[in-house]
Each structure stands twice: as structure tokens, then as C-alpha cells.
A and B are shown apart, each in its own frame.
Chain A
């Protein structure tokens, strides 16, 4: 491991950060055509770097590409956490649980699909849809009556979910035999198990994984979000531990022999390409930025600032917390799906609760309530910890992986002691800069009146 390699690593980190900044800058342009062209160029640059060889080896080799995918999926996870903690003020350590749920769900769907079993996709897809409809319908009813205790709501939703799950399993049993012959087997893939249909299934799997994680977070968050902030953190940490335990015993406690419990799930098709990672990364960034800029985003931030005042303004605090928690988990689930299909192998150790501090560390590092900070911190963190430190310590013998985790907390301590507010504080870049909506029309001189009509409508539930 020479000095040149360290230098190249550093250059790559800086280049990737510059790239992220460029992407955000392009997204912030007002003209639609510039935006589209910019996104295409941003996609093309990395695609070029991956494919074009200089002197026999690509600029971004497999290792760097792995880092890039990891950074992309981790960005989604960390952005989700930033929405939950940075913007809504709910201290959550459960992000890795939802990440793992997303990864395993998506992996199971595509694994079964290429092995000639359509049941995974059909059951999850129909289950997700039915549970979504059930939650939506039940919410309409429950919202009509005030004063239903959280525990009662939870019980009702739980019963609904179990019933919906049973229905979904029966739907899967009914439909799957009709599709299975078209899939072929693992050795001889049928018409639907390769090419474009497989990509479509992959897309559906990512969406299903995200929504499944979001629905789980709804069920879990409904009672748990009523606890106070630190207690909520510990409860979500418990959630991560329980999910990890279930993963470790997925072939004994849970009926999924293909997940192979603690030995890890192998044979997941490696479907993640730069295209999918990029599409979902941009999608997550844009969706989250638009949420923050909308009136729901202001509601979310008002809950962070002062719950009592927010409630006095007519904000449904419980609902707001739940929505931000669900959206954050949705992002985590999508990130998990991207991760699973890039690495091709899932082990419960990847979702160990000790690692579940990582998104939190990233978010605090980048600055709570700063999207740009989170994105930059994720890319920097991945390339520093996984790339640079691993390369640096690669020659140090068997203790190397441990040394990595000795240097990492020391760095963490030093940065925290020097800059407790995070590296970027609440600075935002380019596209994310003006979080608060600029008025389209010039505001007229405020006419003396009882209530400004535009404001009176907001927040009233």
C-alpha cells in the first residue's frame, strides 16, 4: 500500500463529493430542460467512468463501484433518518431494522422469481397493497372519532394487518401456479425470469420493499412514537435487535428456508446497476426535498421545534410524527433493496444493531436538519471508512479490521469535540438551498384584516 494509492483514494473521495455537489447544483436550475440534461450528464459521467478503461483497468474498479453503490443505499437510509431525527426530532435507532427488512424482502422476491417461484412477488405485492388499503380505510374511520386510545388503534390495525396477510397468502397460492411455468428453473430460466421482465420485477421488488418497511414502521411507530424521545430511541434500538434476531432465525422461527438464518442468504441476483442506484438516489433526494419544502415539511419541523406550540397551531402531532417515520423507513427499505441486489449476499451481521449507529453518526456528522450535509457525509464516510481506512490498514495483518474500528471512534470523538453541531451545520447546497418556499407572486402590502385567508387553511386538520 503505497502513497500513490492513498493519494488516488483521496482524489476519488474529493471527486465524488464534487460530483454530488454538481448534481445538486444542476437539480437546482430553474429550467426543466437544463435539469433533464444535467441529470443525464450526471448519470453519464459515472457510467463513463465505470465503462471506459485507461490502460487496461477502469478508473472506477469493482471495489470503487461497490463503494459507490454502498454510498447510494446508505444515503437513502441516512436521509430517511435525517427526516425522522433531524427534521422531526424523533431520536430513532431503528433505521437499520427497516434497512434490513427492505433488503430481505426485495432479495426474497427476486430470489424466488429466478428460481421459478412467483409466490414471493405476488404475496408481497398483494399484501402490501391490501395492508395499505386497510390502513388507509381504517384511518379514515378512526379519524372520525376523537379520543380513541393508541393501544386500541394499534390493536385494530394489528388485527387488520394479520387478516390482510392471510388474504395475501391465499391470493399468492391461487395465482402463483399459473405464472410459475413461465419462469423456468434456476438452470433454465424461462421467458419471464430474464431480460426486461426481470428488471420490471426488480423495480417492483424495490417498491414493495420500501412500502413494506413503511407499513411495518407504521404498525411499530403507532404505539412507540407516543413514548418520549430517548425512550423512543431505546425502543427503536430494540426493534433493530428483534429484527436482527428474526433474521438470524429466519429458517427456524420464520418460515423462510431460503434465507438460511445466520448462515446468510446467498444467490441473490446482482441486479443493481448504476442506472437503478442513480434513479432511486435522485428520486429519494427530490421527494425528500419537496416534502421538506411543502406545508407538511413545515408541520414536521414545527413538531421538532415545540410540540405544544405545534399542537396549539392545530398540527396533529401524532400523525406528523408517524408520517415522517414512515417516509424515513420507506427510504431505508429502498436503500436496503438496492444494497441487497448489489452485494448478492445478505448476512444478519450486516444489520447488527451495533452498525445501526452508523446512520445516526452520519446524520449528526453532516449536521442535523441538513440534507446536503447528510449526502456529503455519507459519501465521505463510505469512501473514508470502507475505502481509505481499509486500504491503509490492509497490510497490517489480522488485526486490521479491528484497527479500523479503533481509528473510527477516535476520529468520531475528535470531530465531535471540535464541531459538535456537525461538519456542515445546517448549510444547504444548490438544489436544497432554499428550503422555505419563496413566494411566487410579490406579497402585497398586508391589508389589515382579521385573518389572512391563505394561512388560516394551513394546519387545520
Chain B
């Protein structure tokens, strides 16, 4: 049993010494690709503005997935566990910011403490505080989950940890859905700052509330800009963390070979906890930004984004940080293009179709390193 769950993900695609009739399968893929390209190009020519809008929406979704996918890819890379509770940590991040804004007015604390500050500074510092609080709560939550639910099962069969992950995920969702916690309804989310809409018409211009848009133009919001900045910042931060710091080296060593890392004097448990914490912090950040961007939250909002973020991490190559980013963007774009041009309900189908196709062609994902043969 144990052996089965530890078995490597060896590619068993029948690429023997001589492959017969390979062109049939390749032709099938080619037809699919041409069909997708045809739909995209036809619509691009028909209505470039709508196409641009869809691309922007897709990128925004992709950035959300990217922030979640980082946690998945790091955790899976180190402990080989699909941390199903990660999507719910993302949800908790959104809810923490909701309560800190509605109940405690945390976003306006600089104005209360230092009355003389200009409004722009107040908004920036206030929003950053809200985000920071969510990140801290998510980190603490993730470390608690790791200590309570996963650590005792580190030597048990891998499926046991997976089942507890599902259990934790259910618990967070349904405990949150209780009346006295978060309630099971959709809750409108009050943004800690006013979201500004920009449009592209002779350069980038700001939309004035009350004034109609000048015709058919591509619009995007300030959240979109924040998403880009935040995601890129997180990318560089993580690259630095993983490749340049001591704890990063320890993380890579642990993911490479746990017993050997332990022999080298690395505190493996601490490293694993740290990995969970970092992933959860970014999920918390993603949760706040997601809530501001889509302005409606409920207790099950983390499930599907969580799953798709995991799919994105796999498509990008599990364990690879740039891979997670690229995979997430592909997921977001593909999903939004499907929603726009094929049919809205099939948005979930396309993510998994891409997963299957990418894994068939490249079993380690786009950026993944080839799996080493284990004895």
C-alpha cells in the first residue's frame, strides 16, 4: 500500500523505440489546436475591443491563481501532499479582511492616529495593514493546520494525510458556513479603497464616475494594476527566498531528499512548517485582492480557484515557481476565452482538458525538471 502511494510519476506514454501511427494522435491534437486558434483569431478580427477585455479579465484571474498556486507548488514539491485546505486558507484571508474592514475599520487607522496625514497615504497604509493582517492570520492558520493535521501523519501512508487535508478543508468551509461564524450566504464585500476604472482611448485615461465611457473601449481597474505589481513582487521575493537565502537552500534540500537533508542537520519539520506559512501568506494576499476585485465573498469561494490553482501548478511543472506563474496565466486566459467564446459552463472543463493534454505531451509540466529515476 505504502509503496503504491509513494510510486513515482513515471511517464508511461508509449514512446517506444518505434512508434506507429503517431501522426493520427498528433493530427488530432493539431485539429484541436487549429480549431481553438480559429475561434480566437476570428473573434479577434471581429471585435478587438471585446477580445482585449477578455484577455484583461483572464490575466486578472490568472494572477489570482498564481498567488494561490505558489503555495500548492511549494507544499507539493516538499511533502508531496495535495493540500486541499489551501483554497480554504485563501477564503479565510478574504473573510479576515472583510471583518477588519467592516467591524474594525482597520483601513482608516492612520487617519485616526495621525489626523494630519494626506488621504492617499492613509489609503495606502490602511490597505497594506488590512492585507498584512490577513496574511498573518492565514500564516498562523496554516501552521496550526500543519501541526495538528499533517505532522502526526508524516510517516503514515500518504493517503491518510490527503484525507485529513480534505477533512480540514470541509471543516473550514462548513464551520465558516455556520450562522454565528461567516453565514452561508454570499456577502457583498466593501473595498478598503475606491476602485478606479481606467480605459484605453488615446492612451490610458481615468474614468470619471457618472460620465459615460466614450464608446467601445477596453477598460481595466486599479485592482488589475495592483494584481500585476503584487504578483510580480511575490515572484521576485520567492525567487530570492528560494535561491539566495539559507532557509531557501534548506527548502530545496528537503524537497530533493528528506532523509539526506535531515542528516545534513536541516530541521526538516521547521522547513515544512515554514513552507506552509509562506504559501498561506500569499494565499491570504490573494484572498484580499480577489475579494476586492470580485466584491462578493462566501465560504466556498476557495474551492474551485484552489483546484484550478493546483492544476495550474501541475501544468507549469510542480515545484517550479515561474512554472506556477505561467501555468496560472494560461489557466486564467483559457478559462476567460472559453467563457467569452464557447460557453460559460464549460469554463471548468477547459482547465482540466489543458491539464490532461499538457501532461500527455510533457509529463513533468511545462517548466518541470525531468523526474529522476528512483531505485
Residues of A within 8 A of B (CB): 89, 91, 145-156, 158, 223-224, 226-231, 233-235, 237-239, 241-242, 245, 248-249, 253, 304-307, 317-318, 354, 357, 360-361, 364, 368-369, 398-399, 402-403, 405-406, 408-410, 412-413, 416-417, 420-421, 426
Q: Are A368 and B168 in contact (CB under 8 A)?
A: no
B146 proximal to A (CB < 8 A): no
Say yes or no: A413 contacts B174, CB within 8 Å.
Answer: no
Q: Are the C-beta atoms of B167 and A403 separated by less than 8 Å?
A: no
B window 182-208: CB within 8 A of A: 184
A231 to B4, CA, bound (A): 14
- The answer to whether A148 and B345 have CB atoms under 8 Å apart is no
With a cutoff of 8 Å between Cβ atoms, the chain B residues found around residue A368 in the complex are 1, 157, 159
* Listed residue (A248, A406, A408) with the most chain B CB atoms within 10 angstroms of its CB: A406
Interface pair B82/A230, CB less than 8 Å apart: yes
- CA–CA, A71 and B9, complex, Å: 34
A interface SS class: helix
Taking a contact as CB atoms under 8 Å apart, the answer to whether A413 and B345 are in contact is no
Which of B14, B28, B307, B355 touches A147 (beta carbons < 8 Å)? B14
Whether the Cβ atoms of A369 and B1 lie closer than 8 Å is yes
From the candidates A156, A223, A229, A239, name the one contacting B9 in the complex (CB within 8 A).
Answer: A229
Q: Which 7 A-B pairs have the closest CB atoms?
A: A228-B9, A238-B352, A151-B25, A89-B4, A420-B156, A420-B160, A152-B25
Contacting residues, chain A, for B179 (C-beta < 8 A): 398-399
Interface size class of B (residues with CB under 8 A): 35 or more
A145 to B363, alpha carbons, bound, how many Å?
Answer: 24
**Interface pair A421/B348, CB less than 8 Å apart:** no
Contact present for B153 and A149 (CB under 8 Å):
no
**Beta-carbon contact of A413 and B21 below 8 Å:** no
* From B26, B153, B173, B174, residue with most partner A Cβ within 10 Å: B174
B130 to chain A, nearest CB (A): 28
Contact: A231 with B314, CB < 8 Å?
Answer: yes
Do B346 and A151 touch (CB < 8 A)? Answer: no
A234, B21: Cβ atoms closer than 8 Å: no
Report the Cα distance A235→B29, complex, angstroms: 18
Main secondary structure of the interface of B (DSSP, over half): helix
Complex Cα spacing A322 to B139, Å: 42
Question: CB < 8 Å: which of A317, A364, A408 contacts B160?
Answer: A364
A143 to chain B, nearest CB (A): 12
Task: List chain A residues, Cβ under 8 A from B14.
Answer: 147-150, 226, 318
Jot down 18 A-B pairs with beta carbons below 8 A, ordered by A.
Answer: A150-B25, A152-B25, A227-B363, A229-B7, A235-B352, A238-B348, A238-B349, A245-B348, A245-B349, A248-B345, A354-B303, A361-B163, A368-B159, A406-B171, A409-B167, A413-B171, A417-B149, A420-B157
Extra A-B contacts (14), CB below 8 Å, given A227-B356, A364-B163, A406-B174: A146-B20, A149-B25, A226-B11, A226-B360, A230-B9, A231-B9, A238-B351, A238-B355, A253-B346, A361-B163, A405-B170, A406-B175, A409-B166, A420-B153
Q: Are A149 and B13 in contact (CB under 8 A)?
A: yes
Q: Which residues of A contact B263 (CB under 8 A)?
A: none
Minimum C-beta distance from B73 to chain A (A): 13
Cα A233 to Cα B5 in complex, Å, equals 12
Contact across chains for B166 and A357 when beta carbons are under 8 A apart? yes
